[in-house]
Structure 1
Amino acid sequence: MRQAVKAGWMYGLGLLVGLVAAGAGSARPAQAAPLEVHVVVVTTFELGQDSGDMPGEFQHWVEQYPLEQTLPAPGMEHGVLRYNAQDHVLGLVSGEGPGHMAAAITALALDPRFDLRHAYFVLAGIAGVNPNKGSIGSAAWALHVVNGGAAHLIDSREIPSDWPDGFTPLQGHVPDEQPRPPLHSIAGDMAYTLRPSLVRWAYERTRHIALPDNEKLQAHRRAYQGFPEALKPPHVMMGDTISGETYWLGALMNRWAERWVAYWTDHQGEMVTTAEEDIGLCQALALQARAGRVDDRRLLILRTTSNFDMPPNGVAPATMLANAAHEENLPGLYASTSAAYQVASPIVRELATHWGSYEGQVP
């Protein structure tokens, strides 16, 4: 009898445990579906807060687009993402340098909160500009991104007399190594060509935007006599970018950068802007595209020009560096951060709000 009672008690306890477990399971919230993202706006730095003070690259997007919703950003230096739920536009600050950019994009691609398989990525950031090719306050859509950080280098005081500079390609021993070592080398990808039709589509839609000019920009340009392109007022153009973590400047370094871009693009590209993060963005998207998390054909890079990358005639590079070592002192900082939003935002809005035209087919 006792065994029968014990058996019945054990059965009842087991049934109760089962019911509790079943109830707990039914009460567990279903995992939220990933947020749909049409466009990711990529910026690289903010000077202070995301709103209400002197703007860096991100603040115009937060305040004017606007990107109203704040989301935590684990694995990213800035710590927060911004989202516009109506247009499905997500904004981020990567942190400066290609390493920070690659880490931020990888963290985003691996984040289960977001569906990025059809998202467009639009980098809108400031840059130095080659005075042989452009002026400050301008905006350049890049077709080519060239890695300026991966190379062999001999100090300029020790290079052979017939070399143009001390840089040679990795896996090469002379500056113009032929045949050129492969783009996909042990050190990573040396050059990327963005989707030409998409870049030209963005350029044609924005080429007529009138960018603001002012006396400060005009005064800075006037020093560049002998550089016809540097004397022009701000405008929208197409122009390739060289990307590396070293903040270089000076006429000799500019000459190297022009040569380096021409070399790695089979003389199809011309160095117009110089920035840090673009190569990290391209590399991270290319790797995540292999995993099916993103589509790296859907990338646009706009660089707006805050400073020249070399001084005018008669000014030493060290003097130029002393005057522009911090972002706040760049002569075209405010003009370039404003231009980045002014030129890139119509493209972001077009892609985001006419999603039926762009989700399945890339321009």
Structure 2
Amino acid sequence: MKFFHALSCATFMTLCAGNISAHAKSKPIPVRVVVVTTFEIGKDTGDTPGEFQNWVEKLPLSREIPAPGTDHDVMRYNPELHVLGIASGEGPEHMASAITALALDPRFDLRHAYFVLAGIGGIDPNFGPVSAAVWAPRVINGGLAHLIDPREIPKSWPDGFTPVQGSTPDEKPRPPLHSGMGDVAYTLDPQLVQWAYGLTKNVALPDSPELRAARARYVGFPAAQKPASVMLGDTISGETFWVGALMNKWAERWVSYWTDGQGTMATTAEEDIAFCQALALQGKAGRVDPKRALILRTASNYDMPPNGESAAELLAAEAHEQGFSGFIPAVNAAYTVGSVVVRNIATNWDRYEKTMPGAQ
């Protein structure tokens, strides 16, 4: 039975490869926008939604396309709007693999496609409230660093993090953003980001007693107590799921340091740096245009507890999904806000195929 199973899997993969090869010989599937999400909880339709389901059901993305060798196994496509949707899998490795696989897939022509990453994340209560929707002008790598255990750092240091290319937290001159040591920060096309924000800044996001209760806990954080809205703010991207006031202070410092004081730390996420890295590398080969990328993070939770609660208590609550008071609102907001941009690009393709929005 084990031999039969292995043979069946090999046969299946051969057939999938054959199907892809057959598609490659025909005209490539046109793609105007790629909607990038990171996870789905169960099925793509009909149950509790993750990041992907709203797009499948509401845009809709009605056509299934096999995606062998990827985390989610299938992609979804809207043949009228020419919008492709993927669920990359969580974490930077899954994201980099998914974007690279897609860029290399001969079934698609992505040279003029726009990429919109629409996912949930944490939010700095010094920046905004849970369930806010935040377009990112910049992505900062929170995982590439030297780290000294907090019990051993010099007393004069704010935290134990230093640039890989340096030995002090505020190494001067600041090391380059892109080097053999890795990519630390990306700036998304400013005109495109501003266009997306301008198009969506007045989109109303729903409120609820649960969200008001979550905001009310953050006494002393005026930004965290405001009703959710569409905002602009930078995202810090790293694989470690960190929480707490001290880590939040580090994240704020890290964003400020790598942006020469120009950035504002807003949201936390895992996959965004890999999204940018993969597009940048595939852009060198002419398969995609990395300038045509947008990142929207909607806040499912705060990244630190309110005054009077510990980081461990917040982590325990989030581990049992009690702290994600904004989970469903954030999932919904990612579609509500993101779809405005996706539809606008797709339905105005005569304008945006060759000239990017905001550049006109």
Q: CA offsets, 1:141-184, max 9 Å, x none?
A: 00000000000000111100000000000110000000111111
What residue in structure 2 maps to residue 146 of structure 1? 140
Distance 2:117 2:350 in 1: 22
What residue in structure 2 maps to residue 116 of structure 1? 110
Aligned residue identity for 2:237: S
Distance 1:208 1:75 in 2: 40
Distance 2:24 2:163 in 1: 53
Q: 2:299 aligns with which of 302, 305, 330?
A: 305
Q: 2:86 aligns with which of 92, 103, 124?
A: 92
Q: CA offsets, 1:73-130, max 9 Å, x none?
A: 1221011000001110000000001111000000000000000000000000001000
Equivalent positions of 1:123-272 (< 5 A) are 123-272=117-266
Asked if the contact 2:157/2:169 (under 8 Å) is kept, the reply is yes
Matched, 1:275 2:257: no
Distance 1:289 1:98 in 2: 18
Asked if the contact 1:168/1:177 (under 8 Å) is kept, the reply is yes
Q: Using a 3 Å threshold, how does the CA distance of structure 1 residues 30 and 350 change in structure 2: closer, same or farther?
A: closer
Gaps in structure 1 of 5+ consecutive residues: 1-27
Distance 2:121 2:179 in 1: 27
Distance 2:38 2:50 in 1: 9
Aligned residue identity for 2:344: E
Q: How far is 1:330 from its partner?
A: 1.3
Asked if the contact 2:165/2:181 (under 8 Å) is kept, the reply is no
What residue in structure 2 maps to residue 71 of structure 1? 65
Aligned residue identity for 1:71: I
TM-score normalised according to structure 2 size: 0.92
Asked if the contact 2:314/2:323 (under 8 Å) is kept, the reply is no
Matched, 1:290 2:298: no
Q: Aligned pair count?
A: 336
Distance 1:47 1:328 in 2: 17
Aligned Cα root-mean-square deviation (Å): 1.3
Asked if the contact 1:74/1:107 (under 8 Å) is kept, the reply is no
Q: Using a 3 Å threshold, how does the CA distance of structure 1 residues 151 and 101 change in structure 2: closer, same or farther?
A: same
Equivalent positions of 1:41-52 (< 5 A) are 41-52=35-46
Equivalent positions of 1:55-70 (< 5 A) are 55-70=49-64
Q: CA offsets, 1:285-329, max 9 Å, x none?
A: 000000000000000000000000000001011111111025585
What residue in structure 2 maps to residue 35 of structure 1? 29
TM-score normalised according to structure 1 size: 0.91
What residue in structure 2 maps to residue 81 of structure 1? 75
What residue in structure 1 maps to residue 345 of structure 2? 351
Asked if the contact 2:150/2:160 (under 8 Å) is kept, the reply is yes
Distance 1:185 1:163 in 2: 25
Distance 1:206 1:164 in 2: 37
Matched, 1:104 2:104: no
What residue in structure 2 maps to residue 336 of structure 1? 330
Using the aligned pairs only, state the percent identity: 65
Secondary structure in 1 aligned to 2:42? Answer: coil
Aligned residue identity for 2:34: V
Gaps in structure 2 of 5+ consecutive residues: 1-21
Q: Which runs of 4+ in 1 moved over 3 A?
A: 326-329
Q: Using a 3 Å threshold, how does the CA distance of structure 1 residues 221 and 32 change in structure 2: closer, same or farther?
A: same
Distance 1:187 1:334 in 2: 38
Secondary structure in 1 aligned to 2:96? Answer: helix
Q: 1:319 aligns with which of 309, 313, 319?
A: 313
Aligned residue identity for 1:322: A
